Structure 1
Amino acid sequence: MLTVRDGHAPATDRLVQTVVGRRARYVDHRDAVVRGGRELVLTVADPVSGLRAELLLELADDVPVLRSRVRVVNDGAEPAVLRSVVSFATHFGRPAGSTEPCGVRRWTLHRAFSEWLGEGRWFTEPGDAIRFPALGQELTGQDPRSARRVVSTGTWSSGTHLPVAAAVAPDGGVAWAWQVEHNGPWRYDLGEDTVDGHLAVGGPTDADHQWLTVLAPGDAFTSVPVAVTVAPDLTTAVGHLTRHRRSRRRPHPVDTPPRIVFNDYMNTLEGDPTTARLLPLVDAAAAVGAEVFCIDAGWYDETGHWWDSVGEWLPSRTRFPGGIGEVLERIRGHGMTAGLWLEPEVVGVRSPLADRLPDDAFLQRAGQRLVEHDRHHLDLRHPAARAHLDAVVDRLVADLGVGYLKLDYNVDPGPGTDHDADSVGDGLLRHNRAHLAWLDGVLDRHPALVLENCGSGAMRSDPAMLSRLQLQSTSDQQDPLRYPPVAASAPMLVLPEQAASWAYPQPGMTPEEAAFTLVTGLSGRLYLSGHLDAMTPDERALVAEAVRLGRDLREDLASTVPFWPLGLPGWDDAWVALGLAGDAGCHLFVWSRDPGQPEVTLDLSGVPGLEPGTAISVEQVFPAALPVWTTGGSPDGRALRLTSTSGTPAARVLRLSVASVPAVS
Structure 2
Amino acid sequence: MNEARIVHLVSEDVSVIIVQDDDSLPVILHWGVRLPVEDETLRAFAAAEERPGLEDVSDLPYRASVLPEHSAGWFGRPGVEVQRDGAAWSPRFSIRAVALDGAEMAAGELRTHTGAVTFFAHDAFTEIELELEIDLQSSGLLRTRTRIRNASSSPAPLEVGSVLVSLPIPVRANEALDFTGRWAHERIPQRHPIVHGLHVRESRRGRTGLDATMLVAAGTPGFGSDDGEVWVGHVGFSGNHEHALERTDSALAFRGGELLLPGEVRLRSGEEYVTPWVFGSYGVGLDAASHRFHDFLRARSRSSRRPRPVTLNVWEAVYFDHDEATISALATEASQLGVERFVLDDGWFRGRRDDRAGLGDWTPDPAAWPGGLRPLAEHVRGLGMEFGLWVEPEMINEDSDLARAHPDWILRARPELPALFRFQQVLDLTNPEAYAHILATLDDLIRDVGISYLKWDHNRDLIDAGHPGTGRPAVHEQTTAVYRMLDELRRRHPDLEIESCASGGGRVDLGILERTDRIHPSDSHDPIDRFHILRWTGLLVPPEMLGSHVASAVSSVTGRTHSLPYRCAVAFLGHFGIEWDIRSLAADEREQLAWWVSVHRRFRRLIQDGRPVGGGELDPSGPAMRGIVAADGAAALYTIVTPPVAADTRARVRFSGLDDKRDYRVTVSAPESLGPPWQVPDWIRDAPGIDADDDAGVAFSGAVLRLVGLEFPTFHPERAAIVRLTAAG
- In structure 2, the CA distance between the partners of 1:338 and 1:91, relative to structure 1 (3 Å rule), is closer
What is the alpha-carbon distance in structure 2 between the residues aligned to residue 264 and residue 624 of structure 1?
31
Q: Which residue of 2 aligns with 1:472?
A: 519
How far 1:514 sits from its partner (Å)?
0.4
Change (3 A) 1:152 1:216: same
Instruction: Identify the range of structure 1 (213-222 vs 523-532) with the bigger mean alpha-carbon deviation.
Output: 213-222
Which residue number in structure 2 is paired with residue 348 of structure 1? Answer: 397
Inter-partner Cα distance in structure 1 for 2:455 and 2:623: 32
* Aligned equivalent of 2:721, options 637, 652, 663: 652
Aligned-partner residue type, residue 375 of structure 1: Q
Is the CA contact (8 Å cut-off) linking 2:622 and 2:714 kept in structure 1? no
Where in structure 2 are the equivalents of 1:526-541 lying within 5 Å? 526-541=576-591
Report the counterpart of residue 262 of structure 1 in structure 2: 312
Q: Is the 8 A contact 1:262 1:293 kept in 2?
A: yes
1:618–1:362 Cα change, 3 Å: same
CA contact (8 A) 2:650 2:712 kept: yes
Cα distance in 2 for residues equivalent to 1:453 and 1:363: 22
Q: 1:310 aligns with which of 334, 337, 359?
A: 359
What code does the residue aligned with 2:259 have? P
2:509 equivalent to 1:462: yes
**Which stretch of structure 1 is more off in the superposition, 530-539 or 515-524?**
530-539
* Structure 1 residue ranges without an equivalent (≥5): 94-101, 133-145, 661-665
Q: Contact 2:132/2:144 (CA < 8 Å) preserved in 1?
A: yes
Measured in 2, the distance between the counterparts of 1:464 and 1:245 equals 11
- State the distance in 2 between where 1:412 and 1:441 align: 24
State the Cα distance separating 1:444 from its structure 2 match.
Answer: 1.2
1:246 and 1:42 map into 2 onto residues whose CA distance is 29
State whether structure 2 residue 121 is matched by structure 1 residue 44: yes
By how many angstroms is 1:383 displaced?
1.9
Unaligned runs of 5+ in 2: 1-24, 26-68, 82-87, 104-112, 685-699
Determine if contact 1:331/1:337 at 8 Å carries over to the other structure: yes
Residue in structure 2 matching 1:548, options 598, 606, 609: 598
Native 8 Å contact 2:97 2:120 kept in 1: yes
Structure-2 separation of matches of 1:124 and 1:313: 44
- Select which of 462, 478, 498 maps to 1:413: 462
Paired with 1:356 and 1:569, the residues of 2 have a C-alpha distance of 57
How does 1:66-465 map onto structure 2 within 5 Å? 66-78=142-154, 79=156, 81-93=158-170, 102=171, 107-127=174-194, 131-132=195-196, 146-170=197-221, 174-205=229-260, 209-210=261-262, 212-247=264-299, 249-251=300-302, 256-266=306-316, 268-300=317-349, 302=351, 304-320=353-369, 324-357=373-406, 359=408, 361-373=409-421, 374-414=423-463, 416-419=465-468, 423-424=472-473, 427-465=474-512
Of stretches 286-295 and 473-482 in structure 1, the one that deviates more from structure 2 is 473-482
Q: 1:406-437: per-residue Cα shift (whole Å, max 9, x none)?
A: 1111111236314587941xx21111011101
**Shift in CA distance, 417/537, structure 1 to aligned 2, threshold 3 Å:** same
Q: Which amino acid aligns with 1:372?
A: L
> Which residue in the other structure is 1:588 paired with?
638
Letter of the 2:338 counterpart = G
Is the CA contact (8 Å cut-off) linking 1:506 and 1:535 kept in structure 2? Answer: no
In structure 2, distance between residues paired with 1:216 and 1:17:
17
What's the TM-score, normalizing by structure 1? 0.83
Runs of 4+ in 1 over 6 A off after TM superposition: 6-13, 17-22, 507-512, 622-628, 632-635
The 8 Å contact of residues 275 and 324 in structure 1, kept in 2 or not, is answered as no
CA deviation string 1:560-605 (max 9, x = no partner): 22221213796xx67332112223522111222547665232233x
Q: Distance in 1 between matches of 2:488 and 2:324?
A: 32
Distance (whole Å) between structure 2 residues aligned to residue 512 and residue 598 of structure 1: 21
AA at the equivalent of 2:149:
V
Change (3 A) 1:9 1:160: farther
| 70-79 or 292-301, larger mean C-alpha shift | 70-79
Match of 2:691 in 1: none
Specify the code of the residue in structure 2 equivalent to 1:496. Answer: P
Mapped contact 2:414–2:471 kept (Cα < 8 A): no
1-side partners of 2:211 and 2:554: how far apart? 35
In the aligned structure 1, how far is the partner of 2:258 from the partner of 2:330? 44
Provide the C-alpha distance between the structure 1 equivalents of 2:672 and 2:96, rounded to a whole number of angstroms.
65
Task: Give the aligned residue type for 1:148.
Answer: H
How far off its partner does 1:358 sit? 5.5
Name the counterpart of 1:500.
547
Q: 1:123 to 1:585 in 2, by over 3 A?
A: farther
CA distance in 1, matches of 2:268, 2:396: 35
Contact 2:348 2:365 in 1 (8 A): yes
CA drift of 1:405 comes to: 1.6
Seen in structure 2, the aligned counterparts of structure 1 residues 231 and 333 have a Cα distance that, compared at 3 Å, is same
Q: Secondary structure at the match of 1:262?
A: strand
Question: What is the aligned length?
Answer: 615
For residues 364-384 of structure 1, give each alpha carbon's deviation from its aligned partner in whole angstroms, at most 9, with x where no partner exists.
213444453232211212222
Matched position secondary structure for 1:30: strand
Any idea what the Cα deviations from partners look like across 1:272-293, whole Å, max 9, x if unmatched?
A: 2322432332111101111111
8 Å CA contact 2:412–2:464 kept in 1: the answer is no
Measured after TM superposition, the shift of residue 456 of structure 1 is 0.3
Residue 530 of structure 2 aligns to which amino acid in structure 1? Y
Say if 1:507 and 1:531, in contact at 8 Å, map to a contact too: no
In structure 1, C-alpha distance between the alignment counterparts of 2:469 and 2:554, rounded to whole Å? 54
1:239 maps to a residue whose letter is H
Change (3 A) 1:415 1:180: farther
Encode CA deviations 1:292-340: one digit per residue, 9 max, x unaligned. Answer: 1111111225573343332112222333466544433321221111222
**2:366 aligned counterpart, secondary structure:** coil
The structure showing larger relative contact order (alpha-carbon pairs under 8 Å, at least 6 residues apart) is 1
Q: CA deviation at 1:72?
A: 0.9
Letter in 2 for 1:347: I
The root-mean-square deviation of aligned C-alpha atoms, in Å, is 3.5
Change (3 A) 1:364 1:566: same
- Distance apart, 1:70 and its partner CA: 0.4
Are the counterparts in 2 of residues 177 and 230 from structure 1 also a CA contact under 8 Å? yes
Q: Relative to structure 1, is the Cα distance of residues 252 and 539 closer, same or farther in structure 2, using a 3 angstrom cutoff?
A: closer
Deviates further, 377-386 or 577-586:
577-586
Inter-CA distance 392–10: structure 2 relative to 1 (3 Å threshold) = same
Map of 2:29 onto structure 1: none
Pairwise CA distance, 1:55: 0.6
Paired amino acid for 2:133 = L
> Offset of 1:626 from its aligned partner?
9.2
Listed one character per residue, the Cα deviations across residues 202-238 of structure 1 (whole Å, up to 9, x for unaligned) are 1114xxx445422233221111111112223322111
Task: Say whether the 8 Å CA contact 2:204–2:240 is kept in structure 1.
Answer: yes
Separation in 2, partners of 1:303, 1:199 = 45
Instruction: After superposing the two structures, state which structure 1 stretch, 189-198 or 626-635, moved more.
Output: 626-635
Return the match for 1:31 from 83, 100, 107.
100
CA separation of 1:450 and 1:568: change in aligned 2, threshold 3 A: farther
Measured at CA, do residues 659 and 338 of structure 1 come closer, stay the same or move farther in structure 2, by a change above 3 Å? Answer: closer
> Which residue type is aligned with residue 179 of structure 1?
H
Report SS of the residue matched to 2:506. Answer: coil
